[in-house]
Amino acid sequence: MFFLKEYYPILIFLGFSLILASIIFGASYILAFSESDNEKLSSYECGFDPYEDARNAFDVRFYLVAILFLLFDIETVFLFPWAVSLSGLPSIGYWSMMDFLFELVIGFIYAWQIGSLDWE
């Protein structure tokens, strides 16, 4: 039973966090405004009405744009650690990144050529 004494602070913290979360959730549920206004009922930025049938077909172009964003924007995150550690890398580190950027540009040109970036 001595080893259970070490877990008492964790149990107290867990109980405190559950009580605090319940209070915050309950207060936000009670105090929140739920009245609709014209701005809330207007069309979204994509042009769809907000209260259509949920089973309508969704345009695939939105998914394609999201995937292309992930591909071309998030891949640039690899440039930051490379740029920071470039002085300590051998020349193969530089040329590996140039190969990566070349393949990324080729992919961008391909996506542009097949028309996946067109919104018409």
In eight-state DSSP terms, residue 59 is: P
Is pTM beyond 0.75? Reply is no
- Domain presence at residue 28: no
Give the residue numbers spanning the domain of 97.
58-120
- Domain presence at residue 75: yes
C-alpha–C-alpha distance, residues 100 and 78, integer Å: 10
Q: Could you tell me which of 84, 77, 86, 83 has the C-alpha nearest to residue 104?
A: 77
- Domain presence at residue 8: no
- Domain presence at residue 67: yes
Q: How confident is the model at residue 14 (pLDDT cuts 50, 70, 90)?
A: very high
**Is pLDDT larger for residue 58 or for residue 71?**
71
* CB of 61 closer than 8 Å to CB of 119: yes
Helices (H), the chain: 8-31, 38-41, 60-74, 79-84, 91-113
Q: What is the pLDDT of residues 60-82, one digit of tens each?
A: 777 888 888 888 788 888 888 88
